Amino acid sequence: MGSKEGEPLFPLDLLYRAWERVHRKGASGGIDGVSVDDFEARIERNLQILCDELNSQRYIPEASRRIAIPKEDGQKRMLSLPTVRDKVAQMAVLMLLEEKWEREFLDCSYAYRKGKGVNRAIGRVEHYLNQKLHWVATCDIDDFFDSIDHTLLLDYLLRRGTDPRFLRLIELWIKMGFVHRGRFSDVRGGVPQGAVISPLLANIYLHPFDQHLRDGGWSHVRYADDFVILCRSKDEAEMALLDAEKFLTESLHLRLNPLENPVRSLDEGFIFLGINFQGSVRSMAPGKLAKAKRKLQEICSRASEEDLTQVTRDVNALVQLWRHHYHRCNDRRAFEELDGTLVDKLEEALRLRSKPLTDEERRSLDTLEYLLPIAPRERTGRVRKFLVASKETPKPRKGASAPPSVAQAVAARRRKYQRRFALTSELVVSSPRSSIGLYKGQVQLRHKGRPTRRVSLSNLRHIVVLADPVSISSNLIRLCAQRKVQIEFLDFSGRPQARLDAPHWSRWDLSLSQIEAARNGKGAELAKAFVRAKMTNQRNLLKYLDKYRKRTDPDFHTALEEELPRMENCIRSLEEAEDISNMEELRRKLFALEAKVASSYWKVVRHIVPPELEFPGRRRKGALDLVNQMLNYGYGILYGRVYGAVTLAGLNPNMSFLHAPRADRPTLVYDLVEEFRVQVVDRVIFGMLGRGEPAGMEEGRLDGSTRRNVTQNVLERLALPMSFRGGRKPLDDIIRYQAGQVARFLSGEVKRYRPFVAKW
């Protein structure tokens, strides 16, 4: 469906109508923190901007906010909450598409459709049962919303003539990631539960399935991902189930939840949409009755502290919903149980109430609804009982560029939320005479007595102190220790000076394994793995940079072409060190190979550094130039992270393999750092230099602004998710994982240690 020629696809009046629907629902806001009321306060401006962006194809949705909702089985259902602005946009598309699709959908589909719903679905089941179709296959699709194949859905919409502009919006909404616990995550499939457009997309995706069953002559009733197929015999029902399962698997890439007895007769009984059908009896399914009691208890318990008028409204809304849903049930016993639960739990909550009821709250008790009819005298008695319990007496931008692709739009939002998480998970203290303490459940940073920043403890992972003097409250230190928030102190060169953390002691069994590893070959294997990872990461980073510099920087490309064979040869030569059993001899061999690769690496890197910075090559100690000091500063931050990961894994940081153990040095930290130098620090510093970010020195060391910029960029890099072992993890988590793998390898839990190697 598209607009008439010359007319905008999204007229402003359509967005006002879409807004009215969203406003009536009054749903929660999304990641931007803008509520329905906030959006309404500037409604004309908000809708005009949205209208302009939609019609010019400049609209890009925000990531959704992910929340967990408890399920009946104790697990959690993840809901994605779009922003109010995105809900209005989705509602507008829904309003434009649903009329067309309503003409397409079959009458066996009852979820998320006007004039359909649960009661009509149950009525349709009764219709088939009256036709003597007494054998039923009950099915539900496993993880349906999260399993919808994006390619199949978008291809089907395209084949059905969907306007490309709608297609782009739908693709944006289903591929845009989400934010959960402060982190942005990509999505690889599925449609977000909680999005306005998702129910329609779900029905569209299953429409070919409905057509297939109808064309096969089967009688079925579907409500979202739950459906029943009603047949005349057991054999027929089993054939229908196999047919349905085959189509879902092969054509839609979906699978059914395995059930113990999916095919049952009416005499045996079956459950559909919360109703137990058995013979002539229709009753609430036992699981639904238990859930209903828990819901009533949850609402009634609020009466001990909250406004009783609102509690009464919520109870009444729930009772009305149940009456509507279960009005076909002839199960008086279940309704009596629910009414009894309502009276008992409300009375119990009112006994705990400390503040007196208002006149309005007392009147609300007279309006309380029940599932079964109640005589006036009995209602009066219940109200008196409640009162006794409560101790009461009776415009568009011109010259806009082409809209970004869906992949570009999703990537832009991903970067935005990754940066936001990095900023909220790390607190960097870079100004002298600062103090850190707690304020209303948040960590507050003050400078010269004035608040400068507040960070939520739920997101905070590290506090990094770069300045001196800085004071930290003891209650914050205790809380950080409990929540495993590490506090690190770095000197002006980035070297760790001290750390505050919960007590961690090396595990005696791991310490013993570390000692034995020097003799049983595991230490040699780890030493080679650390060096192999470092050399391979250096080579891979240069190849990655060459992809973008090959045409624009011929000197870099030529230098890499010259040095790359030498690096490859050293990496291959590493395997020749397998027969060396003496650790000292092995170390000399490994460091010799590592030095050759490093020499080639830094020769090529010199072509990245602007000539005016006069980069002399890599200098570790006594570096006087800007680039080496920036690198050393970044490595110092990395040392602190790896130290924390090593101690959390229970390893002894002084017992190493690549570097010779020293009692006064955390040499195991130096070992593991080698895997991460290139990706965590080198790539960050090279990027800063390439972007021309301001950097400078004063009195022979990095100035305060440069130290802050290096710190912030490295911390953002640590929060960046990377491809890892078939999934994606932030680098900070990968560091902890690798330290744990070292421990598991030494203790024999895993047979091989795989170092961290980044792809290029």
pLDDT at residue 60 is higher than 70 = yes
* Residue 175, token pair as written in the block: 């591929």
Percent of residues in the chain assigned helix, strand, coil, to nearest 5: 55, 15, 30
| Range picked from 109-123, 233-247, 379-393, 712-726 for highest mean pLDDT | 233-247
pLDDT at residue 617 is higher than 80 = yes
**Cα–Cα separations (whole angstroms), residue 22 to 17, 40, 82, 84, 192:** 9, 11, 12, 8, 17
Mean pLDDT for all residues in the chain: 88
Half-sphere exposure of 42 (CA within 13 A, CB side): 11
* Nearest alpha carbon to residue 390 among 341, 354, 359: 354
Query: Which residues lie below 8 Å from residue 290, measured CB to CB, with a gap of 6+?
Result: none
In the DSSP assignment, the letter for residue 261 is S
pLDDT for the residue 504: 66
Q: Where are the domains of the chain?
A: 12-180+188-281, 284-367, 407-500, 508-747
Lowest mean pLDDT segment, chosen from 69-78, 221-230, 736-745:
69-78
pLDDT at residue 393 is higher than 50 = no
What gap in Å lies between CA 188 and CA 191, rounded to an integer?
A: 10
**Do residues 277 and 270 lie in contact, with contact meaning Cβ atoms separated by under 8 Å?**
yes
pLDDT at residue 494 is higher than 80 = no
- In this structure, which topology does domain 508-747 adopt according to CATH? Four Helix Bundle (Hemerythrin (Met), subunit A) (1.20.120)
Half-sphere exposure of 128 (CA within 13 A, CB side): 21
* Nearest alpha carbon to residue 184 among 450, 512, 415, 527: 415
pLDDT at residue 547 is higher than 80 = yes
Residue 592 confidence class, pLDDT cut points 50, 70, 90: very high
**Do residues 293 and 337 lie in contact, with contact meaning Cβ atoms separated by under 8 Å?**
yes
What's the residue count for the chain? 760
* Residue 142, token pair as written in the block: 């496993």
DSSP string, 368-395: ---SS---HHHHHHHHHHHHHHTT----
pLDDT for the residue 291: 85
Strand-pairing partners, residue 447, are 434, 450
Average pLDDT over residues 74-83: 81
pLDDT for the residue 594: 94
Exposure b/e, 634-650, CB count within 10 A at least 16 = b: bbbbbbbbbbbbbbbbb
pLDDT at residue 395 is higher than 50 = no
Average pLDDT over residues 282-298: 87
Q: What is the pLDDT of residues 302-329, one digit of tens each?
A: 888 788 999 999 999 999 988 888 877 8
Percent of the chain at pLDDT exceeding 90: 50
Q: What is the pLDDT of residues 572-583, one digit of tens each?
A: 888 766 667 788
* Nearest alpha carbon to residue 332 among 281, 271, 261: 281
Angle at 676 between CA 672 and CA 682, to 5 degrees: 140
CATH superfamily for 407-500 is CRISPR-associated endonuclease Cas1, N-terminal domain (3.100.10.20)
Dihedral in degrees, nearest 10, Cα atoms 218, 219, 222, 228: -90
Residue 396 confidence class, pLDDT cut points 50, 70, 90: very low
Exposure b/e, 135-158, CB count within 10 A at least 16 = b: bbbbbbbeebbebbebebbbebbe
In the DSSP assignment, the letter for residue 467 is S
Strand-pairing partners, residue 486, are 462
Cis-peptide, bond into residue 469, ω within 30° of zero: yes
**Do residues 315 and 299 lie in contact, with contact meaning Cβ atoms separated by under 8 Å?**
yes
Q: What is the pLDDT of residues 218-229, one digit of tens each?
A: 999 999 999 999
Q: What is the pLDDT of residues 646-655, one digit of tens each?
A: 988 999 999 9
pLDDT for the residue 432: 82
